[in-house]
Amino acid sequence: MDLFSTVKTNISTIDAAERYGIEVNRYGKALCPFHNDRHPSLFVDDDHYHCFACGEHGGCDRLTSKLYGLSLYDAAKKLAYDFGITQDKPPNKAMQEKQNRKSEAQRLRENEKLCFSALMEYYKLLQKWMVLYAPRAPEDTLHDRFVQACHQLDYVEYLVDLLIMGDSHERTEVIDMMMTDGRLKNLQTYLEKVNKEGKSFERREDLYDEAKDEDNEWAFWFDGKNINEVLFCQHFLQLHPMKCVRGRLFTVDGIVEDEARSAK
Ligand SMILES: [Zn+2]
């Protein structure tokens, strides 16, 4: 029996997958290591595996070859050795190095986490600036941070939405874009710088954080005499997030009853 047949007869694809770090659930499904998978799309059976999202398909030898970047023959040798079928020498040095390399999917997942946390932090910052640095009177000159928030908030929200709800292809596109030309690094550096400047930037930032506490009687939209309605509404929406869907308001708890409508 040649090496391939020996390996295929003696080692099930499930055993190989689990041995090499793929967690297969009781339905035979697993997160695919060959694309940026979030819901298990890899089906693993005794004699083959198949990914319903990226189409990757094969037996235990191909699985090992793809995971470790080995030729099919070296993959079969590795399997035979790892499962104690042969006593032939262990993987050579080149194979060891490849073993230590992270798989493409692992790298993608790590980068996705980094992108998400940076974009989310930036998104929250822009939301805050949108309220905090909004002009209080028509004749006010626009604050740089307000202008920046106006320009970028929608786009950053769109990227965050894609990372939360996009399919693996869309998420990978966002990650690739962020990893190009050091965009992620630049954003992280920028956020660090803003954090360092912190509240020393303007007294308004202090007031904003105090006002976020609902029990606090003082609020930054009230100057002691008048209520700035725009600021009040923006602040209210921050405390009670809601979205308008087909003309009805929804909070996380469900629909907001329209008193005028239900009175009819
Ligand atoms: Zn896949």
Is 154 a residue whose pLDDT tops 50?
yes
CB atoms within 10 A of CB 44: 26
Could you tell me the distance, in angstroms and rounded to a whole number, from the CA of residue 130 to the centre of ligand 1?
A: 40
pTM attached to this predicted model:
0.58
Q: Provide the pLDDT for residue 11.
A: 95
The model's confidence at residue 159, banded by pLDDT at 50, 70 and 90, is very high
- Tell me what pLDDT residue 222 has: 67
117 Cα–ligand 1 center, Å: 25
Higher pLDDT, residue 213 or 146:
146
The type of residue at 78 is: K
In angstroms, what is the span from residue 214 Cα to ligand 1's centroid?
47
What domains can you pick out in the chain, each with its CATH number? 3-100 (3.90.580.10), 104-263 (no CATH)
**Residues, CB-to-ion distance under 5 Å, ligand 1:** 32, 34-35, 51, 53-54, 56
The per-residue pLDDT for 89 is 63
Give me ligand 1 centre to Cα 172, in Å: 13
Average pLDDT taken over every residue of the chain: 82
